[in-house]
Chains A and B, each alone.
Chain A
């Protein structure tokens, strides 16, 4: 009496090589019909993936970007997309001559944070004269990036993420 092979369903019916869950044998190109449960699982996974993404999409559309104080930025917030507001503490400075990097500090009384922008966002900010000046109150929406202790930054990717709420001369 031949012993039952527990991996039988995972073998190619033609060449008997192990093919796992594949539909077509990668060795001999023979079709390997799978059990109904596997076919059902595949369609179920497809439906689940599409439905899940639709739900996630609507959740994302309806959710608001959290507003936080600058002092609340901790390493646990790394990679978070947040909105902050503060006064520009010093004139923005560029990292290189070709405007590929721009940074400036903002503070709100609770803490201090560096706002950074890279090319092409930095270039657009310079070109369209959208950079704030010392004393301006700005609203920044971006991604928190903490590379080392104390070096808290928020990175913006488009010029729309930086808004001058109140200019220094208005004060």
Chain B
């Protein structure tokens, strides 16, 4: 009985903490979880262990709470970049029209519906279907990923069409996004290889080797975009 109470209490505490942390702009929950894990390992070194019945629901609650409440800063405080055009832009549109609260509630409702779908449909069916999916897709993952990459690069295809006057200016204008996309792809790929196989992070903290990349790739651009866009 005590374990059930601790599990539920831990999940609720995690949710509350995640919801509060979500209101801090540019703070990603994975960074927080990394710090939590450092704390847990430090406690482990002092021979103080936290039972999985508390740790697991707590971290999942942290993640779920953050994912749900993160809508607030992303709709009300963020400037969207091009990649978030279709997802954040409608929220921004609502926010600029003075209907930010409505946008947040709609997104939260969608998130809640997703959780119910996950718990009631995916949860029971996943153990039955996942082995089959795994067996089918295991040998095809590489070309599926190549198709996704090809789609991403082709989405940068020149969009100007036949509008405007021809010439070098138009040629460069058309190819600039494609070249930028290719350059971004190769740089991101190289960064991924380096982080995975030769991370500059010391080996004793390797479980957090993505943390600086998260801060540099997501938090800093997000803040700079907000400053530039005067949001």
User: Which A residues contact B (CB, under 8 angstroms)?
Assistant: 6-10, 17-18, 20-22, 26, 37-38, 41, 46, 49-50, 53, 56-57, 59-61, 63, 65-66, 68, 74-82, 119, 143-144
Contact = CB atoms under 8 A, between A and B. Distances in A.
Contacts of A46: 183
Given A26-B85, A79-B206, A56 B41 contact: no
A21 B81 contact: yes
The 4 A-B residue pairs whose C-beta atoms are closest, nearest first, are A80-B206, A60-B198, A78-B207, A10-B229
B99 interface: no
B224 A22 contact: no
Contacts of A38: 228
Given A20-B92, A26-B85, A81 B199 contact: yes
B203 to A, nearest CB: 5
Given A26-B89, A60-B194, 16 more contacts: A7-B229, A20-B81, A20-B229, A21-B81, A41-B224, A41-B228, A59-B198, A60-B200, A63-B200, A75-B37, A76-B41, A76-B204, A76-B206, A77-B203, A79-B207, A81-B206
Contacts of A8: 230
Chain B contact surface mostly: helix
Interface of B: 37-38, 41, 79-82, 85, 89, 92-93, 96, 138, 183, 187, 190-191, 194, 196-200, 203-207, 209, 224-225, 228-231
A46 B37 CA distance: 34
A133 B37 CA distance: 37
Contacts of A143: 196
Nearest to A23: B82
8 contacts: A20-B80, A49-B187, A56-B200, A77-B207, A81-B196, A81-B197, A81-B198, A144-B206
Given A41-B224, A60-B194, A66 B96 contact: no
Q: Which of A10, A20, A50, A82 is packed against the most chain B CB atoms within 10 Å? A: A20
A9 B230 contact: yes
A144 B92 CA distance: 42
A59 B191 CA distance: 12
Contacts of A26: 85, 89
A9 B37 CA distance: 42
Contacts of A10: 79, 229-231
A74 B203 CA distance: 11
B101 to A, nearest CB: 17
Contacts of A81: 196-199, 206
Contacts of A50: 183, 187
B120 to A, nearest CB: 27
Q: Which of B79, B183, B194, B228 is packed against the most chain A CB atoms within 10 Å? A: B228
A21 B228 contact: yes
A20 B198 contact: no
A18 B81 contact: no
